[in-house]
Structure 1
Amino acid sequence: MTIRKRLFISFSLILLIVTFIIGVFFYTIYNLNSINYQQNHRYDQLIKVEKLKEYSNSYSWVVLDIITDFDKIQIVDKRINKASDLSISLSNLKTIVINNSESIEEKKNLVLIFANFDTMLNLIKNELYPLVINQNNDFNKFNKKFEELNIDTQKLLEKEIKYLQDKLNQTQNKRENFLDTIKLELVILFIILFLFSFIISSKIINEIKNKLDKLNQGVLQLFKNSEKTIKVDIGENNELSVITENLNSYLEKQADIIYSREELLRNISHELKTPIAKGKFIIEKLENKDNKILKDINTIFYDIEKLTSKLLQREKLNFAVLKITKFKASSLILESLSKLSIVDESKVIVDIENDFDINGDFYYLTISLKNLIDNAMKYAIEFPIRINSSKNEIYIENISNKLSNDLIYYIQPFTREPNQVQGHGLGLNIVNKILSLHGFELKHKYKDSHNIFSIYF
């Protein structure tokens, strides 16, 4: 399993725990809302029951006023009407209070309380009021009955109030216990999340560290035992195995480069044999003391020196570090021409249509353009050659024979035309190497008896 997959699975599990914690949070909010609603409901019920005590006291005051002013019929009628009004208010309150009861016992208690209130009203209307109408001031029997009923009602109300207060206390305790439980659960979940994350992270880090250690051992073994590839088992289908494969691919390419250099050296040896053989042949003619022969010897060794210089130049390009600067196309063309030391300037026409900016290594680009101009001068059938700068491209064209192969053939080292005598087949190879380092492109086309080489910047 790849490290990425392990991380994804670990992240998914951690996300699951976090989601569970969020779920616990919302569950807590939901339950707290439920508890708060229940608490508010009981508190509202308690207020209503407390109000019933006021109704009980109001009935007592009605009875007291009637007995006190029994001889004043108008006052008695007002008190009777007040008792009726109290009964209507109680009737409106009765349905709400009874429906808000939470238990059968509470409901029975409330029904009994309201029944007592109805009885109080009946006693006032059916027993007390007739006594007043008949001018009978013997209220002892009525007082006794009403007092017993009032005391019983007060007890029932006290019982209901105590019941509701107990329920409120239970709700508060439930709330506090619930909060304590949730706090403990959240702490435990956070601890589990931390430990889980720590264990997974440690395991993944240790796995990466072990694989890196193995990879490091493989690299050290590569240097100690002159291995061509890293031979170490770090598993399959993981990121480090991919890195190891890429490193081995790179090392194989390096081995190919080394092989190419060895082949290049063999080619160099082959190319040097011809001028050396010529030198030996001419040296044998030195007995004639002919100045022409000495001149030929100088030419041959100059040829060898030039070949060696180009080979060294080509080799340096393998390790070149570019110094990027900004300069004009015209500066590059003029500097390249100055390195050629052209005696007859009429052989070259320079046409700067667009003097654009170039970002590159001025020294190496001068070498590449100089080689192209040198080839154009060397193989031209007619003069002048033309150098043109236009639209991020420099063109070098001459009137010459059409190339027998495509450009890709000539950018290989030691390749040239079959009938070509001069040159070593390294010029275009060096040009292409320099341009490749810059990310520029070498182009060629043949049009109207003109070979046109161009550098596209």
Structure 2
Amino acid sequence: MTIRQRLYIALSLILLITMFIIGVFFYSIYNLNEIHMSQNHRYDQIRRVEKLKEYNNSFSWIVLDIITDYDKVNVVKERLHKADTLFKTLHLQKKQTIENSESVSEKENLKLIFSYFEKMEKAIKVELFAHVLVKKDSTTFISFHQAFDALNQQTNLLLIQEIEYLQQQLNKTEQSRNQFIDTIKIEVVILLFLAFTVSFVIASKIIKETKDKLDKLNKGVLQLFNDDENSIKVDIGKNNELSEITNNLNSYLEKQSAIIHSREELLRNISHELKTPITKGKFLVESLKKSLHNVEIENINKVFIDIEELTSKLLQREKLNFATINASSFKVSSLILESLSKLSIDDESKIVLDIKEDFTIHADKYYLTLALKNLIDNAMKYAQEYPIKIETNERSLDIKNMAEKLSNDLVYYIRPFTREPNQQQGHGLGLNIVNKITQMHGFKLHYSYKNPYNIFSIKF
């Protein structure tokens, strides 16, 4: 099992526990909300019952006032009107109060209380009002008041019992809430401890295994330096990240070995390429011994210029292997002018510039100038007719010359020391250098043929 897989498992376990904790959190919120709603419900119900108790007291005072002043019409009318208003309000609250009861016994108790209020209403509106109309003696009113007071006291007792019941339920809810919070606290602490323990155990195991493998890898690297090996020879298991690192290092070492082999092959090719101009030089020098002519001296000069050009290109190519890009921003027109200034052009009419878009380039101007110089130099060297064209458009720099289409694909010519079979000029390094520079910058070198033009383009 790889380190990544172990980490995924560890993270999955921790995530699972975290999700469980989050679930417990939302569960707690839900339950606390339910408890809170239940508490609010009971508070509201207590307020309703307290209001009924106030109504009961009010009815007691109304009856007492009417009996006391039964001979005063205005007082009696006012008290009866007040009683009527209270009973109407009471009837409106009856349904809501009974529907908000939480148990069958509570509902039956509330129904009984409201039945007593209905009896009070009948007693006040019918019986007491009749006594007032006939204006019976005080004995009749005293008897009525005693009967009404008994009903009133009985109602008051039921209301007190209802309030006590609701208060008890409210206290139970508060206790349940506190117990629930205490339980949740314990569960969260246990889950956090479990998450920490699992994380610590898995992390410790992963760290230990990784440390062991790193120690083995370190020994293999030391062995690589001490014993001059070409690869790291240690067993750190398979299908893990460190084995991938080891394989990548071994691949790198193989590439380095291949680079060294490639350079050795390059040096052999260089020595082979240099033999021809050197042999020509020796032959011409021998000819000078017999006769001295300007033409022969010029030929000697061309040979050694050829050698100098080849040496210069070889040095340029070798520097590119270790080049560091020093990027800056500049216009493509500036790049073209800089490249042209480094060429020895005897007739400016041989080149036509067409800058359709003067876009900005972010690159190493020195190396990009070198690449463009080589492309322009090749275009000038192998053109069958002049002028050559340098065009810019849509982040592309095109160099066109009138010549026959190349016989091979571009990939053939970007290899060192490759050129057309019948081509005598050049050494086959120019396009190789251009390709290396464009690759360094992440640009693309492109070739196409549109009769009668060969077109080499740098795509930015």
Output the TM-score relative to the length of structure 1: 0.72
1:453 maps to which of 444, 449, 456: 456
- Please name the residue that 2:364 is paired with: 361
AA partner of residue 35 (structure 1): Q
The 3-state SS of whatever aligns with 1:389 is strand
Measure how far apart 1:184 and its partner are: 2.6
Deviation readout 1:69-106 (Å, 9 max, x if unpaired): xxxxx669x97998999699779958976984816567
- Please name the residue that 1:370 is paired with: 373
1:350 maps to which of 349, 352, 369: 352
Measure how far apart 1:317 and its partner are: 1.4
Structure 2 residues not aligned, in runs of 5+: 225-229
Measure how far apart 1:185 and its partner are: 4.1
Tell me, in whole angstroms, the C-alpha distance in 1 between the residues paired with 2:223 and 2:354.
58
- Please name the residue that 1:390 is paired with: 392
Q: Map 1:279-298; keep pairs closer than 5 Å.
A: 279=278, 290=289
1:38 maps to which of 37, 42, 56: 42
Measure how far apart 1:363 and its partner are: 1.4
Output the TM-score relative to the length of structure 2: 0.71
Tell me, in whole angstroms, the C-alpha distance in 2 between the residues paired with 1:86 and 1:450.
114
Higher mean C-alpha deviation, range 78-87 or range 442-451? 78-87
The 3-state SS of whatever aligns with 2:417 is coil
The 3-state SS of whatever aligns with 1:451 is strand
Q: Map 1:97-176; keep pairs closer than 5 Å.
A: 100=98, 102=106, 139=139, 149=147, 152-153=150-151, 155-176=153-174
AA partner of residue 391 (structure 2): S
The 3-state SS of whatever aligns with 2:446 is strand
Q: Map 1:382-421; keep pairs closer than 5 Å.
A: 382=384, 384-391=386-393, 392-421=395-424
- Please name the residue that 2:426 is paired with: 423
Check if 1:20 corresponds to 2:24: yes
Structure 1 residues not aligned, in runs of 5+: 67-73
Percent of residue pairs identical = 29
The 3-state SS of whatever aligns with 1:365 is helix
The 3-state SS of whatever aligns with 2:41 is helix
**Mapped contact 2:280–2:303 kept (Cα < 8 A):** no
After superposition, the Cα gap between the structure-2 partners of 1:221 and 1:127, relative to the gap in structure 1 and judged at 3 Å, is same
The 3-state SS of whatever aligns with 2:324 is coil
After superposition, the Cα gap between the structure-2 partners of 1:63 and 1:321, relative to the gap in structure 1 and judged at 3 Å, is same
Measure how far apart 1:28 and its partner are: 1.9
**Mapped contact 1:214–1:232 kept (Cα < 8 A):** no
After superposition, the Cα gap between the structure-2 partners of 1:304 and 1:250, relative to the gap in structure 1 and judged at 3 Å, is farther
- Please name the residue that 2:51 is paired with: 47
Count of matched residue pairs: 438
The 3-state SS of whatever aligns with 1:424 is coil
Tell me, in whole angstroms, the C-alpha distance in 2 between the residues paired with 1:145 and 1:370.
130
Q: CA RMSD in A?
A: 5.0
Measure how far apart 1:158 and its partner are: 5.0
Tell me, in whole angstroms, the C-alpha distance in 1 between the residues paired with 2:310 and 2:443.
26
AA partner of residue 405 (structure 1): N
Q: Highest Rg: 1 or 2?
A: 1
- Please name the residue that 1:259 is paired with: 258
The 3-state SS of whatever aligns with 1:323 is coil
- Please name the residue that 2:447 is paired with: 444
- Please name the residue that 1:187 is paired with: 185
**Mapped contact 1:46–1:164 kept (Cα < 8 A):** no
